[in-house]
Amino acid sequence: MEAHEASEMMEETEGGAGKNRTALTISILAMVLAIASLGGSNAGKDVTQENILAANSYAFYQAKSIRQTSLKIAATDLELQLLREPGMPTAAKEAMQKKIEDYKKTIDRYESEPETKEGKKELLAVAKEHEAVRDHAMRQDPWFDYAEGALQIAIVLLSVAIVAGLPALFWAGATLGALGSLFTINGFFLFY
């Protein structure tokens, strides 16, 4: 075997190793891309779901507020009626007074119902919790989008690097892939 033949065999072996390294890198980045896609999909679903749940809690809160206001108006109306008609029969006065007390108890119950968690105070707290989860998912979602874009471009660059045999494309793709991987990790943990 002559020197130039040995040199050609070494170049073929190195090229094969480079192609294997590039193919392995593409495989790893494809796996990270799948994870980023899953994280982005889940974040998007969480945004939608938590927004609906927060809106439902606020709607229930508003319904309680409207009922509470209606009962306040009714109780005030009965109190004014008692003042306007001092000569009203005692049984009627007692019935009206009982109704006013019932309205006031219901008004207080609408303000806070810890046992059922359906008072205005509890509903507002639940709505805020849903908003916090939604806002967290909204902060995660763009990072997954960035990761998906970077990883897809990295995979394309690495694929071209195999065909063209250009080491610069490998390093550009590998760098972009590393960046996409960091974006994926940040999407889950929000370090930044």
Give tens-digit pLDDT for 33-76.
Answer: 999 999 999 999 999 999 999 999 999 999 999 999 999 999 99
What's the pLDDT band for 5 if we cut at 50, 70, 90? very low
Contact 184, 144 (CB under 8 A): yes
Q: pTM, whole model, 2 decimals?
A: 0.81
- Cα 95 to Cα 40, 71, 92, 103, 143: the distances in Å are 61, 16, 5, 12, 64
**Residue 15 predicted with pLDDT over 90:** no
- Give the whole-number percent of the chain exceeding pLDDT 90: 90
Which of 126, 132, 102 is CA-nearest to residue 114? Answer: 126
Round to whole Å and give the CA distance between 39 and 136.
Answer: 13
Task: Give me the pLDDT at residue 21, please.
Answer: 95
Q: Please compute the mean of the pLDDT values over residues 151-177 and round it to a whole number.
A: 96
**Residue 7 predicted with pLDDT over 80:** no
- Give the whole-number percent of the chain exceeding pLDDT 70: 92
Q: Please compute the mean of the pLDDT values over residues 154-182 and round it to a whole number.
A: 96
Mean predicted lDDT score pLDDT of the chain:
92
Q: Please compute the mean of the pLDDT values over residues 97-116 and round it to a whole number.
A: 97
* Structural domain spans, the chain: 26-189
Which of 61, 185, 80 is CA-nearest to residue 131? Answer: 61
Q: Which two tokens stand for residue 123?
A: 């509903």
